[in-house]
Amino acid sequence: MFASTLSRAAVVAAARAPDADASIASRRAAVAAGALAVALAPRGARARGLPTLECANELVVGARGLAFCDAVVGDGATPTASSVIKAHYVGRLESGRAFDSSYERGAPLQFKPSQVIQGWGLGICGDGDAIPAMRVGGKRRLVIPPELGYGARGAGGAIPPNATLYFDVELVAVA
């Protein structure tokens, strides 16, 4: 399998390759392979006690490098850019270490898409192309490249610079 023959660092490096010869398709494949490598990581490498979504289908990668797969397709309302959204989530680094979780706090996060990283807004509200909006009741895995996350600045001590982020998101409500 592709993901088992490449190191995670090589997959992420290929996804970020800035040279003109690196095609968008190869970067998308590298992001998808990196997510697969995390999904296949030994259970001990993951945060214990937090939910981990398992997708039956392959990751779909949008034009901007954001990847997703739906573990559960909801049947409720869909959010827009102006919606107030409630979502449970677990955020992980490439290593599988959880850096944040609404489940640990016991309450879903409430936010507008403009208040969160761009990858979240596109991953939940849709990108108008390959990534459809989630529906309430849905559960989605998001693989967010650094450019749609915290980029070169990182986020405090929790998220290093240029980190690819892995989120399992459960859309609870839309208002």
Which position among 85, 89, 131, 168 bears the catalytic label? 89
Active site residue 166: no
Backbone CA torsion sign across 76, 82, 84, 87: positive
Which position among 85, 144, 150, 159 bears the catalytic label? 150
Residue 64 or 21, more confident:
64
Has residue 4 got a pLDDT over 90?
A: no
Q: For residue 57, what are its two tokens?
A: 């289908």
Q: What integer best gives the mean pLDDT of the chain?
A: 80
Q: For residue 61, what are its two tokens?
A: 């990668």
The mean pLDDT value for 75-88 works out to 96
Q: For residue 48, what pLDDT is reported?
A: 54
Active site residue 117: yes
Which position among 68, 70, 85, 117 bears the catalytic label? 117
The mean pLDDT value for 43-64 works out to 76
Whole-angstrom distance, CA of residue 6 vs CA of residue 156 = 29
Question: Which residue type sits at 21?
Answer: D
Q: For residue 121, what pLDDT is reported?
A: 96
8-52, pLDDT tens digit by residue? 333 344 344 444 344 444 444 444 444 444 443 433 334 457 888
Query: CATH for 47-174?
Result: 3.10.50.40
Active site residue 150: yes
Domain map (residue ranges) of the chain: 47-174
Q: For residue 98, what are its two tokens?
A: 């959880």
Has residue 65 got a pLDDT over 90?
A: yes
Q: For residue 50, what pLDDT is reported?
A: 83
Among 88, 95, 91, 66, smallest CA distance to 167 is for: 91
Q: For residue 57, what pLDDT is reported?
A: 87
Whole-angstrom distance, CA of residue 172 vs CA of residue 85 = 8
Active site residue 99: yes
Which position among 68, 70, 85, 99 bears the catalytic label? 99
Q: pLDDT band at residue 56, thresholds of 50, 70 and 90?
A: confident
Q: For residue 6, what pLDDT is reported?
A: 30
120-157, pLDDT tens digit by residue? 999 999 999 999 999 999 999 999 999 999 999 999 88
Q: Count other C-beta atoms under 10 Å from residue 107's C-beta.
A: 10
Active site residue 100: yes
Whole-angstrom distance, CA of residue 54 vs CA of residue 141 = 8
The mean pLDDT value for 103-126 works out to 96
